Structure 1
Amino acid sequence: MSTLAFSESGITMRTYLSINYLTSAALLAKKAHDLEAGHRVEDWPDQTVLAEHHAFATSAIMMSAAAVEAFVNELFAECRDQGAMNHLGISTEKAALVARIWTDVPKVEREFVLEKYELALRLLDLPGLDRKSAATKAVDALFALRNSLMHYKLVTREAGNEPEEQRLADFEKKLQGYFVGHAKHSGTKPCKGLPGAGYAANSQNEYRSDLEPGSWSAPT
């Protein structure tokens, strides 16, 4: 998404990549789903289909996580750069406070994404995150999955033996509920299975739907 501003000095354009990431995640998840729709669980997919699906599913997971983080980063940057003219409906006073924190406290940008959402909500005098909600738990698991893919540990499989590093991590056990019935066919841990793309896209989409621009408006 982009916005244009016209002035005597020229035209200024701002691009918000969270929407691009969101769209990309949805398109990739659809491509993964299209492959899944023609797949019978009892059959092992051929290597071409498997490679295509892994590419779509993995990319959907990455772009879903990117969309969630980009959205909150854009909120802080929008307040810093646009102030009272921000498109999120945040008041002048609150926008100035958010901007000051983003500018003066560099470590905020490096915080875990849910911590940044929590901080933004508190700065705007809005209710904090419900850590027990399904949406928040799903996003937390999404980022754990993203991190697992980005920082995987190479292991050696031994037939008939399950080494410690092959056992499911806590977040993978949580994700098993989304991928019931697939583990025995995928050849990978359940969290890397066929439904992963749809799970990732749906998780971040549901989470962001609760945080649309209008919901950031707070009493002055």
Structure 2
Amino acid sequence: MEFEIVVQRSVLLKTVMSPMHLKMAGFYASECRKIENSFAECGFDYGYQIRNYEWLQGFSASCFMSCAAFMESAINELISKVVDESEGEHPLSKVITPDQVQLLKEEKEKKNLFDKCDRLAEILGQKRMDRGSAIFQNAAGVMAVRNSLMHYKPYLVEVERTNGFEGDEVDDRNHIVSLEKRLKGKFEDSAFFRNDSQPYFPRKCLGAGGAEWAVKAVQEFVLEYYKLIGADSGSLRRICNIED
């Protein structure tokens, strides 16, 4: 009697999410621009504004959320590649010790993105990114908007009655004032609220200008970080549609 021996080997698959997050961020930003362009084409019609301002803010808010998710995913995917590829195919796997791999496994579970980035650079013997640099500050600004959206609490804000909008009663928005000081001037205000006294966040911040700025900011941060620690950014540059 003959027996046929069949050896089956399992295949390990890893799904990366950063390309999806960045593509969705770009889509949301383009939708914001379409809405603002249509607003200008119709002569800044108040009726159009009323019908579409929630769509504009929704697309812009979604863009900021996707941008933050892109940064988180890109850094976590980098750490995962170094840690999980036991054969050392990833360039960084060749320059770290087993003890460092264990440290990376622990860091992968940390919550704060920027602290995680600092720790990874430290483990690899590289210099940390300058937190005072424009690239870092812009990325931190994106994350600040994301956090404000995720943990949003209604604020009472005193504003003038303009364009049919009624202001609320008192100013109780210290956090929002801080956000405005951090971001004002980095991108154009929403076309819907550019010329009135509506609060900066969420009204003026969430528009086409903010969305487009956020997409650019997170790409620059992740690419700069990969460069800083000596990681191969080829696939990342393709995701960002950047030619070498």
TM-score range, shorter chain: 0.7 to 0.9
1:141 Cα deviation from its structure 2 partner: 1.0
Aligned to 2:239: none
C-alpha distance in 2 between matches for 1:121 and 1:170 = 29
Aligned to 2:80: 77
Aligned to 1:3: none
Aligned length: 208
| 1:215 has 2:230 as partner | yes
CA deviation profile, 1:74-128 (whole Å, cap 9, x unmatched): 22222222134344x213351744430143x46x623421111111111111221
Of 184, 205, 209, the residue aligned with 2:195 is 184
| 1:203 has 2:217 as partner | yes
CA deviation profile, 1:157-177 (whole Å, cap 9, x unmatched): 456554132784323212111
State percent identity of aligned pairs: 23
CA deviation profile, 1:145-164 (whole Å, cap 9, x unmatched): 11111111223345655413
The answer for unaligned runs of 5 or more in structure 2 is: 1-6, 161-168, 233-244
Q: Are residues 131 and 26 of structure 1, via their aligned partners in 2, closer, same or farther at CA, if it must alter by over 3 Å?
A: same
Deviation larger for 185-194 or 136-145: 185-194
C-alpha distance in 2 between matches for 1:110 and 1:120 = 11
The TM-score with structure 2 as length reference comes to: 0.72
Deviation larger for 68-77 or 30-39: 30-39
Aligned to 1:100: 102
The TM-score with structure 1 as length reference comes to: 0.79
Aligned to 1:28: 28
C-alpha distance in 1 between matches for 2:189 and 2:17 = 35
| 1:169 has 2:171 as partner | no
Alpha carbons 1:29, 1:57 under 8 Å: kept? yes
Aligned to 1:116: 116
Aligned to 1:53: 56
C-alpha distance in 2 between matches for 1:90 and 1:65 = 24
The answer to which structure has the higher strand fraction is 1
Alpha carbons 2:189, 2:209 under 8 Å: kept? no
Alpha carbons 1:25, 1:60 under 8 Å: kept? yes
Alpha carbons 1:76, 1:99 under 8 Å: kept? no
Q: Are residues 150 and 23 of structure 1, via their aligned partners in 2, closer, same or farther at CA, if it must alter by over 3 Å?
A: same
CA RMSD of aligned residues (A): 2.9
**Structure 1 counterpart SS, 2:11:** strand
| 1:67 has 2:70 as partner | yes
C-alpha distance in 2 between matches for 1:187 and 1:159 = 6
Q: Are residues 167 and 138 of structure 1, via their aligned partners in 2, closer, same or farther at CA, if it must alter by over 3 Å?
A: closer
1:135 Cα deviation from its structure 2 partner: 0.7
Q: Are residues 132 and 10 of structure 1, via their aligned partners in 2, closer, same or farther at CA, if it must alter by over 3 Å?
A: same
